[in-house]
Each structure stands twice: as C-alpha cells, then as structure tokens.
Amino acid sequence: MSTDLTVLLVVVAVLVAATLAVAVALLVRLVRTRRALRRAGLPVERQWVFWAAVAYLVLPADLVPDPVYLDDIGVLLLALRSMRSASDGPPAPRG
C-alpha cells in the first residue's frame, strides 16, 4: 500500500470516528433530556419524538449511508430541540 493511500484511509477513519462520537454524545444528551422532562411531566404527545430519533439512529435504513452520521446527528438535534421546546411551554401572551 502506498503512503498516500494509508494517509487517506487514516483521515477517513478519523472523520468517521469523530462523527460517530458526536452522534453518540447527542444520543446521551437526548436520553438525559428525556429523563429530565419525564420527571418534570413531559407531555405524552412529545414522547414519540424521542423514540423516533433513537430508532432512526439504530435502524440500518438511513438517508445517508452509515459511515457518515450527519443525517443521524441532524435527527438527534431536531429531536433534542423539539423536546426542549416542549419543556418551555407555550409563549406568554403579549400585551
């Protein structure tokens, strides 16, 4: 194997590992948020967001092949944002 090919494979492996680490970190954050929101009385209609995000991360059917976890990261971020917005409640009336 040539040196250039070895360097390329190492760089690709590092990028894959980095994106996987970000996806796992977001999953951990999502689980912690779900636990906190459950203790605070998370509305039942928002619980599906958590399970849908976890299923998307675990199931093999993805929009982008699994060596690139960008779509998984996006789904986890959207779920985290949605669950956090549920904890904020409705906005206060103006006026």
The predicted structure's pLDDT at residue 45: 62
User: pTM score, two decimals?
Assistant: 0.52
The predicted structure's pLDDT at residue 43: 63
Q: What residues contact residue 27 under an 8 Å CB cut-off, 6+ apart?
A: 54, 57, 76
The predicted structure's pLDDT at residue 52: 81
The neighbour count for residue 56, using CB atoms within 10 Å, is 18
Q: What residues contact residue 79 under an 8 Å CB cut-off, 6+ apart?
A: 30, 49, 50, 52, 53
**pLDDT tens digits for the chain (95 residues)?**
688 888 989 998 888 888 888 888 888 887 887 787 777 776 656 677 777 887 877 776 666 666 667 777 788 888 888 877 766 665 545 54
